Amino acid sequence: MPTLTEKIIKAHLQEGTMDRGCPIAIKIDQTLTQDATGTMAYLQLEAMGVDQVKTELSVSYVDHNTLQSGFENADDHKYLQTVANKHGIYFSRPGNGICHQVHLERFAAPGKTLLGSDSHTPTAGGIGALAIGAGGLDVACAMAGRPFNLKMPKVVNVKLTGALHKGVSSKDIILKVLQLMTVKGGVGKVIEYTGEGVKTLNIPQRATITNMGAELGATTSIFPSDEVTYEFLKKQNREDCFVALSADDDAVYDETYEINLDDLEPMIAMPHSPDAVKSISEVVGKKIDQVAIGSCTNSSYRDMMIVASILKNKTVAENVSLCISPGSKQVLTMLSQNGALTDLISSGARMLECTCGPCIGMGQSPITNAWSLRTFNRNFYGRSGTLSANVCLVSPEVAAYSAIKGVISDPREAEFDIPAEPDHFLVDDSMIIAPEKQHPENVEIVRGPNIKPLPENTPLADTVEKQVVIKVVDNITTDHIAPAGAKVLPFRSNIEKISEFIFRDVQAGFKQHCLSVGGGFIVAGQNYGQGSSREHAALAPMYLGIKAVIAKSFARIHQANLINFGIVPFTFANEADYDTIDEGDVLKISNLHQLAPGKAMMVENVTKKTSFAVNHALSQLDIDKDVFTYVKTRLKNLSIEIGGDYEGNVIELMNKGLLE
């Protein structure tokens, strides 16, 4: 009676028992990184002294920072290419596509585990992989052959019945799930899709759904592997890696939802949260300024063909700027070969590179007070680069039809063709560079001046008495903590520089404030750190002297990143205590060296002369690993465990100025 999730976890289990909520460690078969998180991950891998990665497959993608408005991004790309070549990692060159789209096309396989330093790694769940997003250090550890630690998740069943009507999209399914479960409803859970409706969805449609499971806060999302999966793999020349996989018929789930696809209508997520979902009929007619189509959620061949069909022989409304970024070189080449690209260009669409682009604020920021419709997965405040913009998330059908109408429109009224499945995908892996196998020792790693040393933490004292430097509300995203966008992303390999942007749009002068008071504590509401896997949202606060975050609850990846970099994530034992604390209050936490799994601690509010209890989720493993003295001790321990030459590597990195 196991679920599909339990079957894959069982086949990869290395430590722990599979009881809900218990710590487990699973073997990782594949890893992926992207450029914005990859440089840190590979610096950590180097410091551990790993010569060749121990996974079945590791791929380094470049898809986030490709504007190259200075030398910084190009430096990062060259470092990533050479470090991959030396250590046995495949390198997907800029231009080859968005990591999740390319991985789905060329590498993801049913039944495999995949760990990626990007929160949308679960995209590969569409093909039946157990694909999890994590911080770069966790991915570096997986490349070093260490199992991935997590808590045994609950398994939620979303049962799909019926079939989608024309104009309704798989994006609408996941928006519906977000409406039902909210942005924190998936924390600690895997979402498993079952039911008759599953076989009506092709692999890219399934991947749209698993991709956006990240917005539920879920550990991952997964579809069974069936004849549709086989057909997709065959058309990608990869049928060899097919295995049929599904949950047992009598599988027992922790929660079940049922969605009848026949009843579903086009949906829209309103500003500024992916779970602020309405039916399109509630907002039809609203004037818009921008439409952006693409991202790892909706940039497949199928999505682009639908968009081309809607735009064919039409012109984008004069009040709208439409930009389109196809997901991969495979998709773009196929569109170019069959003429659909001409339909996109003729409509007036502004064609962009096959990268993340506007999804991460790399260009195409909309006008002041804009209403922007995007086929992306996140519409967090400020993420588009225009603080006053109202960004909504929709399907490609809604986006394309609204672009020609100039107002939010219901695509069920549009005339267009549902594209036929291609007989074959265009397979050309010439933009993926295989690593040097014969003499990797001869490969020179190129590090331009933008690659700065890994920062170091000071050991956690037994008693910490410091100010609350910032108090924030519920659902603070990593985009609030460590914003992205064209002005910031060039500095992802430079923590000192990136620390200038921490909480940029929440508290002016945050960096100076932290430095002047010698760091301190962050106090937060529910679901602190939701969104991305970026370690910078922990590394930069660490650099600024943050010692603990006290929140009502945390998002999974951010909590793990805080632990990895020696910031203790505490949760209020009694949530009402949140209201008793003000910014600037001095808090004192004693006996930190006696931190033990499951043991509550007392926090004294020195300013208010009160005290309150806090819990933490640290395991014995976290505490034993001496996480509180990152970088040196932690990396040294890991290095000893994997048999790496830590001393040699650290001396080399220090000589190169990459470690202090």
List of residues contacting ligand SF4 (CB under 6 A): 64, 98, 118, 120, 295-296, 356, 359-360, 376-377
Q: Using CB distances below 5 to 8 A depending on partner kind, what does residue 176 bind out of ligand SF4, ligand MIC, none?
A: none
120 binds ligand MIC (CB under 6 A): yes
Q: Using CB distances below 5 to 8 A depending on partner kind, what does residue 533 bind out of ligand MIC, ligand SF4, none?
A: ligand MIC
309 binds ligand MIC (CB under 6 A): no
Among residues 169, 290, 298, 533, which is the contact residue for ligand MIC, using CB under 6 A?
A: 533
Q: Binding string, 310-349, against ligand MIC, x = CB under 6 A?
A: ----------------------------------------
Residue 63 is among the residues annotated as catalytic for this protein: yes
Residues that bind ligand MIC (rule: CB under 6 A) add up to a total of: 12
Residue 30 near residue 45, CB atoms below 8 Å: no
Question: Given 12, 64, 374, 536, which residue is catalytic?
Answer: 64
Residue 540 near residue 511, CB atoms below 8 Å: no
β-pairing, 568-572 vs 586-589, is unpaired
Q: Using CB distances below 5 to 8 A depending on partner kind, what does residue 527 bind out of ligand MIC, ligand SF4, none?
A: none
User: First vs last Cα of the chain: how many Å apart?
Assistant: 53
Among residues 102, 340, 360, 522, which is the contact residue for ligand MIC, using CB under 6 A?
A: 360
Residue 492 is among the residues annotated as catalytic for this protein: no
Radius of gyration over every alpha carbon of the chain, rounded to an integer in angstroms:
24
Residue 36 Cβ, how far from ligand MIC at the closest point, in Å?
3
Compute how many other C-beta atoms are within 10 angstroms of the C-beta atom of residue 515.
Answer: 14
Measured CA to CA, the distance from residue 566 to residue 417 in angstroms comes to 54
Residue 383 is among the residues annotated as catalytic for this protein: no
Nearest to ligand SF4 of 103, 314 (CB atom): 103
Residue 32 Cβ, how far from ligand SF4 at the closest point, in Å?
10
103 binds ligand MIC (CB under 6 A): no
β-pairing, 23-26 vs 148-151, is antiparallel
Residue 206 near residue 223, CB atoms below 8 Å: yes
Helix (H) or strand (E) holding 343: helix 340-346
Instruction: Indicate the burial class of 46 (C-beta count within 10 angstroms; 0-12, 13-18, 19 or more).
Output: buried
Nearest to ligand SF4 of 457, 478 (CB atom): 478
119 binds ligand MIC (CB under 6 A): yes
Residue 136 Cβ, how far from ligand MIC at the closest point, in Å?
9
Taking the mean position of all CA atoms in its chain, how far away is CA 201?
23
Question: Given 76, 118, 138, 172, which residue is catalytic?
Answer: 118
Q: Binding string, 33-72, against ligand MIC, x = CB under 6 A?
A: ---xx--------------------------x--------
Measured CA to CA, the distance from residue 122 to residue 317 in angstroms comes to 35
The verdict on whether omega for the bond into residue 558 sits within 30 degrees of 0, i.e. cis, is no
Helices 203-211 and 170-181 pack at an angle, to 10 degrees, of 30
CA distances (Å), origin 364, targets 97, 468, 477, 485:
18, 36, 21, 10
Taking the mean position of all CA atoms in its chain, how far away is CA 303?
21
532 binds ligand MIC (CB under 6 A): yes
Residue 118 is among the residues annotated as catalytic for this protein: yes
Residue 296 Cβ, how far from ligand SF4 at the closest point, in Å?
3
Q: Using CB distances below 5 to 8 A depending on partner kind, what does residue 295 bind out of ligand SF4, ligand MIC, none?
A: ligand SF4
Residue 557 Cβ, how far from ligand SF4 at the closest point, in Å?
13
Q: Using CB distances below 5 to 8 A depending on partner kind, what does residue 98 bind out of ligand SF4, ligand MIC, none?
A: ligand SF4
Q: Using CB distances below 5 to 8 A depending on partner kind, what does residue 32 bind out of ligand SF4, ligand MIC, none?
A: none
How many Cα atoms occupy the beta-carbon half-sphere of 332 within 13 Å? 19
Residue 371 near residue 286, CB atoms below 8 Å: yes
Closest to 222 (Cα-Cα) out of 105, 114, 148 = 114
Residue 374 is among the residues annotated as catalytic for this protein: no
Question: Given 35, 63, 75, 76, which residue is catalytic?
Answer: 63
Residue 526 Cβ, how far from ligand MIC at the closest point, in Å?
20
Q: What angle do CA 154, 158, 162 make, to 5 degrees?
A: 170
* Footprint of ligand MIC on 464-523 (CB under 6 A): 484
Residue 254 is among the residues annotated as catalytic for this protein: no
List phi, psi (to 5°) of 159: -95, 120
List phi, psi (to 5°) of 418: -80, 125
Residue 100 Cβ, how far from ligand MIC at the closest point, in Å?
9
Question: Given 225, 295, 532, 639, which residue is catalytic?
Answer: 532
Q: What share of the chain is helix, strand, coil (3-state, %, to 5)?
A: 35, 20, 45
Residue ranges binding ligand MIC (CB under 6 A): 36-37, 64, 118-120, 360, 484, 531-534
Query: Which residues are identified as catalytic?
Result: 63-64, 118, 378, 532, 534
